[in-house]
Amino acid sequence: MALLFELAGDLLATLDGDGRLGLLNPAWETHLGWSVDELRGQPIERWVHPDDLERTRTQLHVPDHEGARFADFANRLRHKDGSWRWLLWNGRYQQGAWHATARDITDSMQLQRQALHDPLTRLPNRLLLMDRARQALARLHRGRTPVAILFIDLDRFKAINDTLGHAAGDELLILVAQRLREVLRDSDTIARLGGDEFVILAEDLEGDAEAIAVAERVLHALEEPFRLAGADISMRASVGVSVAHDPSTNAEDLLSEADVAMYRAKGSGGHDLELFDESLRRQIAERLDIDDRLRHALPRQELHVAYQPQLRLDGRGRVGWEALVRWHPHGALQVEPSEFLPLAEESRLIVSLGEWVLQSACAQAAAWLRRERMRLTVSVNLSARELAEGDVTERVRAALQSSGLPASALCIEVSEQAAIDHIDSARNAFEGLKRLGVHTALDNFGAGSASLTLPGLLPVDMLKLDRTLIEGLDHDRHKRAVANAMVSLARDTRLRLVAMGIESERQLKLVRKLGCPVGQGFLLAPPQVPV
């Protein structure tokens, strides 16, 4: 027995009623660096991590009967080099002392921690967050106060990444994590889901008002400048808040509700907070209904393509059409594109929908060409999701081959924002399309801050002035100045220019005065369905 005690790989010990270490085997020095003589007779509390001290005292209290046990109890003990080692304990109380064994599980605990924590910020990841959220909601059964989830998205993070680089962006995320730790309670869980998205799980709240107060504290804390790359940078954020009062609440639903509320806050301009409420719940139900019906719209032949003419503003006729998808559910009112296209983008339905529009538009343009002998251009929009798919050129090539439409009669449009968000994909797509002989255009041009530089980064043929510029021509001097700059840019770089959204005689007069040669809008001609 004495030999087994000496050779055992696990740590063996006796502890008296005061928690003092008695008999110890040599494995203690192997795993913790302290000699048996340094440990013997000392209270184990001297080496226990402060966060584990209360639990350790509870486990080692003197039981009221002989033979009491504890099992699979883990705590951290300090190594002689200052590090902490995780030990997994089992013990039995006999003859006035605990007879215990401990196994060093530090390596497995570190692996578990890595699996449950974000490697950059060391915050809990989604897996650990949702586990804690489920535990918090379970405690509501015992009459605990409400549980809240706050979904935080940084408003200008992409711009910082683009201007200062990804290393600076990573440093900022670490600083944001530290700032959140400083302003929140120890009982709150702060997690990073990825990118610039953080989530806070808060318990023991008085109600919705206190959850909102936590969100306001977060917004205020992030306003304080961060020192980054030698400069002071203020960070703005959008926060969505969802509060659970009912113990039957699902943790994933609570997170989704906070996410939806965050997007509403961001949609109103950012640097704001939104509380998930019944109006948002109705919006979700409506969106799910539209999404479900949209999945069946193509096989039910509820979708069709309308074509809006692009006209010369000197009165010399058409130069082309823009293909626009429309949805008329059987027995119901038309669903506006602004309602269903964003949902299609989110669910990836936009890929199959976009391919159908492309094939339909090419086939229709080829039929017009054969019938009317007019070499006009049909324009088809490419969504951000389609752009990111990476097979744009092949899909366009297939549509041209199946329809027989000449490549020079097709123009592929990408919105300015989609091109900015996916600049490498946009460049690859436009270069491939140019090799096919297809024209390319930047849609909604002039809506963003990068407008003047974007045409120099992409092989583009046409710029389509954003309708917000056209709407502001008669009353907004800034938009008028931007529109003038766009016209000059197109003229100097020999790009074709189209003014979108012309809806009044006043706008038409101002667009002509700008020197824009081609226009598109309801005043000139509404979208038309071929007969």
Query: What does the alpha-carbon distance between residue 26 and residue 39 come to, in Å, rounded to a whole number?
Result: 11
Tell me the β-bridge partners of 73.
89
Asked whether 405 and 369 are in contact (CB, 8 A), the reply is yes
Residues 210, 147 contacting (CB under 8 angstroms): no
DSSP string covering 212-242, please?
HHHHHHHHHHHHSPEEETTEEE---EEEEEE
The dihedral of CA 84, 88, 93, 98: what is its sign?
Answer: negative
Q: Where along the chain do its domains lie?
A: 2-110, 118-276, 297-519
Torsion of Cα atoms, 264 then 135 then 212 then 265, to 10° = -10
The token pair that represents 111 in the structure block? 């692996």
Contact 318, 309 (CB under 8 A): yes
**Nearest Cα to Cα of residue 343 among 386, 267, 382, 290:** 290
Q: Which of 405, 402, 464, 392 is nearest to 435 (CA)?
A: 392
pLDDT of residue 59: 83
Classify 439 as helix, strand or coil: strand
Quick one: CATH architecture of 118-276? 2-Layer Sandwich (3.30)
Smallest CA-to-CA distance from 11 within 21, 26, 2 is with: 26
Domain 297-519: state its class. Answer: alpha beta
Instruction: Write down the residue that tokens 């302003």 correspond to.
Output: 183
Per 3-state DSSP, the chain is made up of helix, strand and coil in percentages (nearest 5) of: 45, 25, 30
**Residues 201, 204, 210, 214, CA torsion sign:** negative
pLDDT of residue 63: 83
What's the CA gap between 413 and 500, in Å, rounded?
13
Estimate to the nearest angstrom the gap between the alpha carbon of 320 and the chain centroid.
38
| CB proximity list for 529: less than 8 A, separation 6 or greater | 304, 305, 306, 307, 326
Q: Going by CATH, does the domain composed of 2-110 fall within 3.40.50.10860?
A: no
The three state secondary structure string of 117-144 is ECCCCCCECHHHHHHHHHHHHHHHHHCC
Q: What is the pLDDT of residue 78?
A: 93
Cα 377 to Cα 185, 221, 413: the distances in Å are 61, 53, 12
This prediction's pTM = 0.60
Rounded mean pLDDT for each run of 10 residues along the chain, 531 residues in total: 61 89 90 91 92 84 83 87 89 89 81 74 87 85 82 84 79 91 87 91 89 92 84 86 89 90 82 85 78 86 93 88 92 85 82 93 92 82 84 93 95 90 88 94 79 81 90 84 86 91 91 91 90 66
pLDDT at 1: 47
